Structure 1
Amino acid sequence: MRRPDPPARVGRDQGTQLEVTVPVTAARFDALDPALLVDPYPTYARLREQAAVCRGGPATWVVPRWAEVAELLRDPRLGHGFAATGESNLLRLAYSVAGGRADTALTRIVPRLPGKDHVRVRRLMAQALNPAAVRAIAADVGTWMDRFLDDAVQRGGFDAMTDLALPLQTAVACELLSAPAADRPDIVRRAIDVGRAFILIPYVAEGGIAAQHEAIGWLRDYVAELVAARRRVPGDDLISRLTRVRHQGTVLSDDEIVDNAVFLLFAGFETTIHLVAGGCAALAGHPDAWRQLSGRPQLAANAVEELLRYDAPIQWVARLTSAPVQIADRTIRKDRAVLLLLASANRDPRRFADPDRLDLTRHPNPHVSFGGGPHTCLGTVLARALGTVVFERLASRVDSLEPAGEAVLRPHFNLRGHHQVPLAVTSR
């Protein structure tokens, strides 16, 4: 697999300079270590062996083991309140680069809402993204996959990122919004740009901040127009359902609908794209696992869980302590950042037998790739359903699945994903 090119420099945009310095010792985690771009798992293994919690920079702590990560994901003293603290550390970077309209929008999305507002908005969002809606989308994905595989098998191959994952998620995201086909290229481009405002990133490319401002503004305006239109003439799309949901007399405001719909649009892009493309890359690189799945396509749902565990699309999540928290033998003070290494926890031999092996029959599989507790990913049910359909159809139609060139990772320290995954296939 080709080594990704590291970012040229830490972000500088329109006179704003963002710099992060993380001291490195044997007991510390350097979130900007270029080795993490290629293969982070040896670093994670070293951290797990050293301690249950270690330093990650100024006012920042890192948790690499499954037991502590799983517990802390559910701890109400760890939240997303970075905007409310004066701490200057690595984890404030994403919020400072957002700024402006992006920063305002960030305060209303489910992951960052406090207490009762978090519970209220999350419950209402979950009503709109209900099982019936997920089943309908999954059925559409099955039809899409059948058409895609007709062409891919005839051509003898495809790129799992550019031919499969990205176009599929584009179709799903736009279907959620019931967006006209003519608008889809603009939506996709902005959804990718706005990701830098929602996911904690340790660098910002040249011009990136301006692109994020433009993207968040465009998407908010676009979805706001959809909300107004659906209030006038309701349909059965996600936006229409969001305007109708109610719980104990509460409803979603237009701003809450707009910002959380934009968030779901991006969150779905990142998780599902990299589950599909990364899953294909993993299966092509593990012939025994592929033979197992192609011989038993009904394993697809279990395979999705193992692919998520084996190489988590989101490597870590950040939390802020609202009160002192005891982690193993350390007390972490209030207003300290805590990095929960999801991908490291998923490879912890204390919880998973033979954790570095891709085992599609692994059960139980308590991976933490979707987080946990009150901040569990809202799109979990949808991502699982789509992934199951994709890999079931792939295993049913394709006999051999092999690399057709070098898979290229993208240079990102938190989102584990690819630029391209060329594959050769033969039909059954």
Structure 2
Amino acid sequence: MPRYVLDDAKNVEDPYPVYQRLREYGPVCRGGPGQWVFSRHAEVSALLRDPRLGREYPEQYQAMSIGQGPANDYLQRIIINRDGGAHVRLRRLLTKSLTPAMVRSLAEPIGALVDGLLDRLADREAWDLVTDLAVPVPMLVMSELLGIPEADRDTVARWSTSLAAAFAVFIPEEKRREAHEAVVRLREYFTGLVRERRRRPGEDLLSRMLMAVRDGTEPLTDEEIVDNALFVYYAGFETTTNVIATGGSVLLTQPDAQRRLRAEPDIVATALEEFMRYDAPIQATSRLVLEPVEIAGRTVRAGRVVVLLLGSANRDASVFEDPDRLDLTRSPNPHVSFGGGVHLCLGAALARVEGAVVFRRLLARFSDIGAAGPARWSPSGGGFRFPYWAYEEMPVTAVPS
């Protein structure tokens, strides 16, 4: 039986040939200690939705990667790592605050924001699709959503980038210290925002969260509000940044796709789903087995961890015809890039709105976008945050329309 260990995979720039070999072997292989790894769509999709699996890991599990300190405590409190009643309570609060109608209403202001960024790039001979577009768009959107003042946005974004290390599978010692320090600073800052919103509530997401708590419909402590608000901020731009960057990579490496999307802007939303399937912004996720699970001819015991290779499931030929080919109008497209089940990504709808707006505006503004040099890739910033999939740099030249 082959073994697939995330720590061994962190520097593999193209994991898809490895995934194919795993799928050809069978639906499951060995992982690290106490881990089983699933690579095919059927098992990954089923396990994402299986109530016998959870995300609420024991504190000792988190401490193995991040150590003891504020970041460990933070990870125990946020919605992504809660199960049962605690998860339901937090998810209900956030879905009430970030409603589908609210997300749809953001398309126009996001468009104005993207236009402003592109205005500043139009006269430049070359610029970077990651640092000049994929990073600032979701960061600015989340800052507006949470009501973070303009003067503070760069600082909060910098702290949030340091916090991202807490979500890594493997974390060097210096990055652990940064993550703990970032939690302290972010908590202090968001606590101040909570006090301000209580005095002067607005229409932002944080005010909506506080309103739901004040009305007694969602009983949460201030600590839960603060930690989950800063998690929403971080989660709201990390994945979307990677969606925009990986989609941009497709435009640069497959010029026919770029030309077709420019000629047929109505298919951008469908194409965005294909971008996410073709090169998943999150390559893997994990679940803790709460009670024995029989799957793929094996019984996985309670206390084991299953690693679900989302990027591999999205290339499974039993579900996707010609899976290694980009098909801009692929339908149906049951990719698992946003996970599934009760832990389905809360920001999926917002990421779709942002991505569609960015690519429509980008392709309308420029008649041709080409590479100005090699893209610099890493598993989300330096090799320590796999399974996030990220480009650090993507220099481009763009010809205004």
Task: Give, in whole Å, the separation in 2 of the partners of 1:147 and 1:244.
Answer: 32
Partner of 1:344: 312
Letter of the 1:121 partner, please give it: L
CA distance in 2, matches of 1:268, 1:188: 11
C-alpha distance in structure 2 between counterparts of 1:263 and 1:95, whole Å = 21
* Conserved? CA contact 1:370–1:380, under 8 Å: yes
Give how far 1:245 is off. 1.8
The equivalent residue for 2:66 is 97
1:228 aligns with 2:198: no
- Distance verdict in 2 for CA 1:305–1:122, change over 3 Å: same
CA drift of 1:36 comes to 4.8
- Do 2:287 and 2:305's aligned partners in 1 also have CA atoms closer than 8 Å? yes
Which sections of structure 2, spanning at least 5 residues, go unmatched? none
Indicate yes or no: 2:367 matched with 1:399: yes
Q: Any idea what the Cα deviations from partners look like across 1:108-167, whole Å, max 9, x if unmatched?
A: 211222211211210111110112332343322201211222332332442111111112
Question: Partner letter of residue 126 of structure 1?
Answer: T
Superposition map of 1:239-318 within 5 A? 239-245=206-212, 249-318=217-286
CA drift at 1:62: 0.1
CA distance in 2, matches of 1:102, 1:95: 12
Contact 2:6/2:169 (CA < 8 Å) preserved in 1? Answer: no
Q: What's the Cα RMSD here?
A: 1.8
Give the secondary-structure state (helix, strand or coil) at the position aligned to 1:303: helix
The TM-score normalised by the length of structure 2 is: 0.94
Is the counterpart of residue 219 in structure 1 residue 190 in structure 2? Answer: no
Q: Which amino acid is the alignment partner of residue 395 of structure 1?
A: L
| Contact residue 7 and residue 169 of structure 2 kept, 8 A | no
What secondary structure, in the 3-state scheme, does the structure 2 residue paired with 1:356 have?
coil
Q: 1:47 aligns with which of 22, 25, 31?
A: 22
Residues 93 and 253 of structure 1: CA distance in aligned 2, closer, same or farther (over 3 Å): closer
Q: Who is 1:116 aligned against? A: 85
User: Which of 181-190 and 243-252 deviates more?
Assistant: 243-252
- Code of the residue aligned with 1:82 in structure 2: it is Y
User: Among 33, 36, 40, which residue is 1:65 paired with?
Assistant: 40
Q: Is the 8 A contact 1:301 1:384 kept in 2?
A: yes
Cα distance in 1 for partners of 2:125, 2:95 equals: 40
Alignment partners' CA distance in 2, 1:323 and 1:185: 44
Once the two structures are superposed, residues 202-229 of structure 1 have per-residue CA deviations (whole angstroms, 9 ceiling, x without a partner) of: 2x23511111111011111111111111
Distance 2:182 2:296 in 1: 42
Q: Distance in 2 between matches of 1:28 and 1:353?
A: 27
Shift of 1:98: 5.0
SS of residue matched to 1:38: coil
CA contact (8 A) 2:271 2:329 kept: yes
SS at match of 1:37: coil
Q: Counterparts of 2:327 and 2:357 in 1: how far apart (Å)?
A: 19
Q: Tell me the secondary structure at the aligned position of residue 207 of structure 1.
A: helix
Identical aligned residues as a percent: 46
2:396 is equivalent to residue 427 of structure 1: no
Structure 1: stretches of 5+ with no match in the other structure: 1-25, 87-91
Output the CA distance in 1 between the equivalents of 2:19 and 2:28.
12
Which of 56, 65, 68 is the aligned partner of 2:31? Answer: 56
Give the secondary-structure state (helix, strand or coil) at the position aligned to 1:386.
helix
